[in-house]
Amino acid sequence: MSIQESLKIVGKGEVAWLEWDLMGEKVNKLSTPVMTRLKEVVAELKASKYKAVVLISRKPKIFIAGADIEEIKKINSKEEFTKVLTQAHEIFSALEDLPMVTIAAIHGACMGGGCELVLACDYRICSDSNDTKIGLPETKLGIIPGFGGCVRLPRVIGVEAALDIILQGKAVDGRKAEKLGLVDACVPTEQLESFAAKMASEKVAEGGRKRQKVYAPRDLPSKLKSSALGRPAVFFLAKRAVLEASKGFYPAPLKALEVVHKTHGMRNRERALAIEGEGFAEVATTAISKNLIDLFYMMEAVKKQTGIDNKAIKPLPVKHIGVMGAGTMGGGIAQVAADRGIDVRMKDINNDALALGLRHAAEIFGKYMKRRKITKYDLDEKMSHISGTLDYSGFKTIDVVIEAIVEDMNIKKKVIAEAASKCRPNAIIATNTSSLSVTEMAEAAPHPENFVGMHFFNPVDKMPLVEVIRGPKTSDEATATIFDLAKKMGKTPVVVKDGPGFLVNRLLMPYLIEAMFILQDGMAVDVVDKYYTHHFGMPMGPYRLMDEVGLDVCIKVVKIFHKSLGDRIEVPNLILNLGESKRLGKKSGRGFYLYDHKGKQLSVDQSIYAELKLKAPTNPLSEKECVERGVFTMINEAALALIEDRIVESADAVDLAMIMGTGFPPFRGGLLKYADSLGTQYVAQELEVYASKCGARLKPSQPLLNLAKTGRKFH
């Protein structure tokens, strides 16, 4: 790869075009060789007689994707980070100080270091393409903008708007960027280059003067927030929002806020950049940052995967899908498909059911419109992709049918056989089941090679995971097609082998069962839930999660597990007592908690203890025991699922599925990364202690013991 050819100056009269096209790479990124070349180019421009410089990418959908994350991951010392960042600051400052006008012409992703690069330019213009996104996603990787973003962005768009982007790791499209003042103009894609050339010529004609403009608030509220009196309130509210969203588990947003607060208004640019560098080095060396970067790589890996090992087999194109069952789940599946431009034909047995599914999809799009993510025109266009039927009209042209009816094996088999008879022989039929055997269900399909599980998590529009369940007869082609369809729907797919609970529910059920034993031991519902949320970092505790899933569903799945796995699944009496109660969880307004008519959680329903034949809670167990018994039972089951039963192929797959399917704290890296951080020996030893105290269900599994004996890790 010629780094000189990747970043070169093309002279056009008095204007230099600085063209970016990293040879041998799909994206432009700011790696060490690229930064070295940029330093040379800036020095060459400084010594030249050009009056203006236009920065432009020759990649079709990428301006600059950002810094080289692999390099960030490999650095472990603050000293090394400080050295790298100091060099980067010098290069960007040299760009900012060039004697001629600098213009960034942005088309495609301009993220992280790419955004920080264009902030060092005098002017920025961008295309109106959907591919154009400008932002600073660093906090999502557990780091902060380190190439000047914390210093320059507030100066360009104001503190409030800058904090909104930096703290949330957001990206904005071209129109929003123009509204914020992040770019000077958003123009049609085909006009970007000519517009940049015209702007450069105009600036040259004006004498090539550097831009002196800094952020100037346009209205009274903005002026107040930017004033000496208003700024403290902006920082106070931003900190409160960060703590509310992160519960203090993620140090990067707080560090970014601190850096912006310290450097805003500072006239000494070098000192401000040094403060930013110190903050970056502090958070980038944490285990949290390394875990979040690992998660980023897991997500990137999914984008490149097909769900099968045979790379010669490609997924079939899917333009039309059918959804059997138009309830909340069916309507949710239809919505995420229609949102990506896929035509959906929903089928149910009566008009009321169809109306429910259509209404649910429309309500989700309505929420998007309320948040100004889409317009009324967008809503109507997206809903036009969904149609309904009481018969099978239109199913002959469908590529994939997703069955999403009641969790009853006999009913599912009947519907699958019926649907198959109405579709093309090569149509793929997928079942959205959370617990029933895909292998048994495939018996009803005339072409079992075209039958596969596609397990969405509820609510479909919010939960990113889809388990692609491969039965013994499922073909590579069907697996790859459903894997690809899940990605097109904006989901993160993980291929799993058929088995009780597949992967996520198999690990989750022992955790929820253990929560019932902990309740039986005298703990209070809200105390235990708080241990898991405020202290461990789960999005919700086990009892709140059971309410969300539905207590009737939980009981049904526990019974299926017990039937499949036998004595390995010990069912507490509380489960039976819960089954006798009328409470169903959030959907009925009463579970472990009470809920209002909008489904908002209220207080714990104190009558739950007496109804489950329990004494008033005395909270005799420590936080450590409550959390470890729940989490370690998931690790124990994961060892069996991964090593013995090969439900999935890697520890990464377990971690990704648990983060995306249950909200397991990303900053801990995933279930098995967390186990590795503690050590398998420690996990096994603690389980032995809990087993001696609480029962054989907590004994460490043989695969876990084998790892512990030799000090090995899951990863």
**493 lies in the same domain as 527:** no
Residue 628 within any structural domain of the chain: yes
**Collapsing DSSP states into helix, strand and coil, what is residue 453?**
strand
pLDDT tens for 269-290 read 999 999 999 999 999 999 999 9
Q: What is the C-alpha to C-alpha distance for residues 145 and 260, in angstroms, rounded to an integer?
A: 10
Q: What is the C-alpha to C-alpha distance for residues 336 and 324, in angstroms, rounded to an integer?
A: 15
Confidence check: pLDDT of 336 > 70:
yes
Confidence check: pLDDT of 220 > 70:
no
pLDDT tens for 100-150 read 999 999 999 999 999 999 999 999 999 999 999 999 999 999 999 999 999
- The pLDDT confidence band at residue 16, using thresholds 50, 70 and 90, is very high
* Domain extent for 656: 505-709
Q: In the predicted model, what is the mean pLDDT of residues 15-40?
A: 94
**241 lies in the same domain as 135:** yes
Q: Which pLDDT score, from 0 to 100, does residue 213 have?
A: 65
Q: What is the C-alpha to C-alpha distance for residues 347 and 322, in angstroms, rounded to an integer?
A: 7
Q: In the predicted model, what is the mean pLDDT of residues 400-418?
A: 94
Nearest-10 Cα torsion for 514, 517, 518, 523: 150
Residues in the chain: 715
- The pLDDT confidence band at residue 564, using thresholds 50, 70 and 90, is confident
* Dihedral pair phi/psi, residue 679, rounded to 5°: 100, 130
**488 lies in the same domain as 384:** yes
Q: How many structural domains are present in the chain?
A: 3
Q: What is the C-alpha to C-alpha distance for residues 400 and 426, in angstroms, rounded to an integer?
A: 9
- The pLDDT confidence band at residue 355, using thresholds 50, 70 and 90, is very high
Q: What is the C-alpha to C-alpha distance for residues 301 and 279, in angstroms, rounded to an integer?
A: 29
Mean pLDDT, all residues of the chain? 93
- Show which residues are catalytic: 455
Residue 281: closest CA among 517, 89, 435, 48:
89
For residue 575, the domain's CATH number is 1.10.1040.50
Q: In the predicted model, what is the mean pLDDT of residues 34-50?
A: 95
Residue 144 within any structural domain of the chain: yes
Strands of the sheet with 15-20, listed across from one edge: 7-12, 15-20, 52-57, 101-106, 123-127, 185-187
Structure tokens at 551: 């207590």
Residues 714, 433, 595: CA angle, nearest 5 degrees: 95
Confidence check: pLDDT of 228 > 80:
no
Structure tokens at 665: 């704290």
**486 lies in the same domain as 526:** no
Residue 300 within any structural domain of the chain: no
pLDDT tens for 306-327 read 999 999 999 999 999 999 999 8
**494 lies in the same domain as 517:** no
For residue 400, the domain's CATH number is 3.40.50.720
Q: What is the C-alpha to C-alpha distance for residues 328 and 459, in angstroms, rounded to an integer?
A: 9
**585 lies in the same domain as 669:** yes
Asked if residue 141 lies in contact with residue 164, where contact means CB atoms within 8 angstroms, the answer is no
For residue 234, the domain's CATH number is 3.90.226.10
Q: In the predicted model, what is the mean pLDDT of residues 191-198?
A: 96
Q: Which pLDDT score, from 0 to 100, does residue 413 have?
A: 95
Confidence check: pLDDT of 641 > 90:
yes
Q: What is the C-alpha to C-alpha distance for residues 281 and 294, in angstroms, rounded to an integer?
A: 18
Residue 260 within any structural domain of the chain: yes
Alpha carbon 54 to its chain centroid, in Å, reads: 35
pTM of the model: 0.91
Structure tokens at 641: 């699922």
Confidence check: pLDDT of 502 > 60:
yes
Residue with tokens 């597990």: 561
Q: What is the C-alpha to C-alpha distance for residues 520 and 609, in angstroms, rounded to an integer?
A: 9
Confidence check: pLDDT of 390 > 90:
yes
Residue 92: closest CA among 169, 152, 132:
152
Q: What is the C-alpha to C-alpha distance for residues 691 and 31, in angstroms, rounded to an integer?
A: 51
**272 lies in the same domain as 167:** yes
Q: What is the C-alpha to C-alpha distance for residues 437 and 472, in angstroms, rounded to an integer?
A: 11
**537 lies in the same domain as 608:** yes
Residue 641 within any structural domain of the chain: yes
**520 lies in the same domain as 487:** no
Asked if residue 110 lies in contact with residue 99, where contact means CB atoms within 8 angstroms, the answer is no
Residue 301 within any structural domain of the chain: no
Nearest-10 Cα torsion for 290, 295, 296, 298: 130
**468 lies in the same domain as 519:** no
Q: Which pLDDT score, from 0 to 100, does residue 422 have?
A: 94
